[in-house]
Amino acid sequence: MGARELDPTFTALPYRSLGDAALARAADLGASHADFRFERVRYQELVARDGTLQGASDTEDLGFAVRVVHGGAWGFAAGVVLTTEEAVRVAESAVAVARVAAGMTSSPVELAPEPVHDDVTWVSAYDVDPFEVPTAEKAALLVGWTDRLRTGAAVDHASAHLLQVHENKYYADLAGTRTTQQRIRLHPGFEAMGAGADTFDSMASIAPPAGRGWEYLTGGAHSWDWDAELDEVPELLAEKLKAPSVEAGSYDLVIHPSNLWLTIHESIGHATELDRALGYEANYAGTSFATIDKLGSLQYGSPVMNVTGDRTVEHGLATIGYDDEGVATQSWDIVKDGVFAGYQLDRAMGHLHPELNDGRSNGCAYADSSGHIPIQRMANVSLQPAAGGPSTEELIGRVERGLYVVGDKSWSIDMQRFNFQFTGQRFYRITDGQLSGQVRDAAYQATTTDFWGSMEAVGGPETWVLGGAFNCGKAQPGQVAAVSHGCPTALFRDVRILNTLTEAGN
């Protein structure tokens, strides 16, 4: 990897003096815990459609926040004026909010201890900062993609997008931890659209968003193979437009990582957030069927199911050195040999449940900006491949009558993470172990533990892909997170397939 140094335009900002002033004021006012978080997040979004750059914007979010535990209650306040006086005022405001909160707090807040990480630095793995690349060059690439897609006979319209994020954050707390970190991530993509006689449809890129730099778009060892996909998609769309509608019923499914990552996100990632199991999200994102009494006994899936949580995998979207509570990031088991084995934690929950991680948080607290409070947020949650396991072709070869699912599209799951429904970019019929063309209008619907219980086999390490999303929503006020999910291709038996035209009553 290239020069991975903290951006000097960030390190020139006065976060250290503001943090010192804010923490000193919070201590003076009697806070038992105080932390100061200063963030600068830069976003650039480019959108092209039909040979033109349709929209472009640069956004920078810069500010800081003070969070305190005072009188057993949380207090949080955020500000944007970068002066010592304002830092002191925001600290006072956080304490004032904690005083208001104390009257409504019936369980005093306590935090699991964490070793002091004194003035440490962490920078994510990338070669080229996309913000150093001229916008015109990036726009030309996207416009070129839409032109190229439209040379396909079936393609009437094409769009392309690129979202780039450059994130810096400084964290300091009263215990003495100080961390300065930097991350880069990208979400490129495209979609081709076309029409048949009485139908229309689309086919999108299955490239995952990644914690990588501009090198992800330019070909070479660290790049997605855009050329191959741009060549392939117009034909795939043409085939989809002519494909027959699926017959609803029960099918065996071979699911490619480009689709399965999202099912993992919804049915395992969110279900094993301890804040949900404890009810903190009951009014919004929901709770979880995977309650704490089931830890160590719930058969989450078949014995081939092994799921880990981590904030450490290289190029992972949730990967970082230290979380927004100053906790060093870790890796742990969530499902082991099919049995529910672990949760995602923050420091308050680590204290409440010392049996889960030896009384320590596993580093899953973060916020999406300085203006929002850190909450328990998702780690990279990944399904492990089988050492020496089968290839995708071998898994398809084990199916007599089934579907092979590629790419994600529509997704939905209930408030306790039982019932889900997903569609995909393309569904191929499998007949006697061979692919036999696409079908349209398919959705798969299942209950989480039934679905993972029906997983007969996972592919080998060569089938494993790190997928993910930029747009995971949670909390009130709403926060957005980027998170990765790795998985191999996997084989599921007897899954319910719906025909979406029938569902619409047509």
Partner 1 sequence: MTLAPQSFVEHALAVSAADDCVVIVRDHTSANLRWANNTLTTNGVMHGVDVTVISFVRTADGVATGSVTGTATDQTGVTALVEAADRAARASGPAEDAAELTRDRVSADWDDAPVPTDIHVYDALAPALGEAFRRASAEQRVLYGFVNHEMTTTYLGSTTGLRLRHVQPTGHYGCTGKPADLSTSAWVGGATRDFTDVDPLAFDAELTRRLGWARRSIDLPAGRYDTILPPSAVADLMIDAYWYAGARVAHEGQSVYSNRAGGTRVGERIAAPGVSLFSDPAYAPIQSAPFATAAQSSNESSVFDNGLPLERTDWIRDGELTALIQTRHSAAMTGLPVTPAIDNLVLEVDGAAGDIDTLVAGTDRGLLLTCLWYIREVDPQSLLLTGLTRDGVYLVEGGEITGVVNNFRFNDSPVDLLRRFSHASATVPSFSREWGDDYFSRTATPALRVPDFNMSSVSQAQ
Residues 177-206 that bind partner 1 (CB under 8 A): 193, 195, 198-200, 202
Question: Minimum CB separation from partner 1 for residue 131, in Å?
Answer: 12
Q: Is 478 in the site for partner 1 (CB under 8 A)?
A: yes
Question: Minimum CB separation from partner 1 for residue 293, in Å?
Answer: 12
SS3 content of the chain, % helix, strand, coil (to 5): 25, 40, 35
Q: Which residue lies nearer to partner 1 by CB, 320 or 348?
A: 348
Q: Which residue lies nearer to partner 1 by CB, 314 or 503?
A: 503
Q: Is 85 in the site for partner 1 (CB under 8 A)?
A: yes
Positions 222 through 261 that interact with partner 1 (CB under 8 A):
none
Considering only the stretches 213-221, 365-373, 398-406, 451-459, report the one whose residues sit in contact with partner 1 under the rule CB under 8 A.
365-373
The answer to whether 136 and 10 are in contact (CB under 8 A) is no
Angle separating helix axes 226-242 and 135-149, nearest 10 degrees: 30
Give the x-and-dash track for 98-117 against partner 1 (CB under 8 A).
Answer: --xx-xxxxx----------
The count of other CB atoms within 10 Å of the CB of residue 9 is 10
Peptide bond into 477 cis (omega under 30): yes
Positions 432 through 471 that interact with partner 1 (CB under 8 A):
441, 443, 445, 447
Question: Minimum CB separation from partner 1 for residue 281, in Å?
Answer: 8
Member of 162, 163, 356, 413 binding partner 1 (CB under 8 A): 413
The answer to whether 212 and 188 are in contact (CB under 8 A) is no
Positions 65 through 84 that interact with partner 1 (CB under 8 A):
73-83
Residues paired with residue 48 on neighbouring β-strands, in sequence order = 53, 160
Closest CA to 325 of 179, 199, 183: 179
Q: Which residue lies nearer to partner 1 by CB, 431 or 476?
A: 476
Question: Minimum CB separation from partner 1 for residue 153, in Å?
Answer: 16
Query: Tokens 């392309």 map to which residue?
Result: 160
Positions 144 through 163 that interact with partner 1 (CB under 8 A):
156-157
Positions 372 through 391 that interact with partner 1 (CB under 8 A):
372-373, 375
Residues paired with residue 20 on neighbouring β-strands, in sequence order = none
Q: Is 17 in the site for partner 1 (CB under 8 A)?
A: no
Size of the site for partner 1 (CB under 8 A): 92
3-class DSSP state for residue 467? Answer: strand
Member of 13, 27, 62, 465 binding partner 1 (CB under 8 A): 62
Give the x-and-dash track for 299-338 against partner 1 (CB under 8 A).
Answer: ----------------------------------------
Q: Which two tokens stand for residue 243?
A: 């494909």
The answer to whether 164 and 28 are in contact (CB under 8 A) is no
Question: Minimum CB separation from partner 1 for residue 406, in Å?
Answer: 17
> How, if at all, do strands 331-336 and 375-376 pair?
unpaired
End-to-end CA distance of the chain: 54
- What DSSP letter does each residue of 286-313 carry, written as one string? ---SS-GGGTTT-B-S-TT--EEEES-S
**Torsion sign, CA atoms 293, 297, 299, 304:** positive
The count of other CB atoms within 10 Å of the CB of residue 428 is 22
Question: Minimum CB separation from partner 1 for residue 81, in Å?
Answer: 5
C-alpha dihedral over 273, 276, 278, 279, to 10 degrees? 170
Question: Minimum CB separation from partner 1 for residue 61, in Å?
Answer: 6
Q: Is 494 in the site for partner 1 (CB under 8 A)?
A: no
Q: Is 280 in the site for partner 1 (CB under 8 A)?
A: yes
Considering only the stretches 232-240, 253-261, 281-289, 428-436, report the one whose residues sit in contact with partner 1 under the rule CB under 8 A.
281-289
The count of other CB atoms within 10 Å of the CB of residue 247 is 13
Considering only the stretches 207-215, 236-244, 388-396, 411-419, report the one whose residues sit in contact with partner 1 under the rule CB under 8 A.
411-419
Q: Is 505 in the site for partner 1 (CB under 8 A)?
A: yes
Q: Is 278 in the site for partner 1 (CB under 8 A)?
A: yes
Q: Is 290 in the site for partner 1 (CB under 8 A)?
A: no
Hey, what amino acid is at 68? V
Q: Which two tokens stand for residue 104?
A: 């409504």
Q: Is 431 in the site for partner 1 (CB under 8 A)?
A: no
Rounded to whole angstroms, the Cα distance separating 345 from 341 reads 13
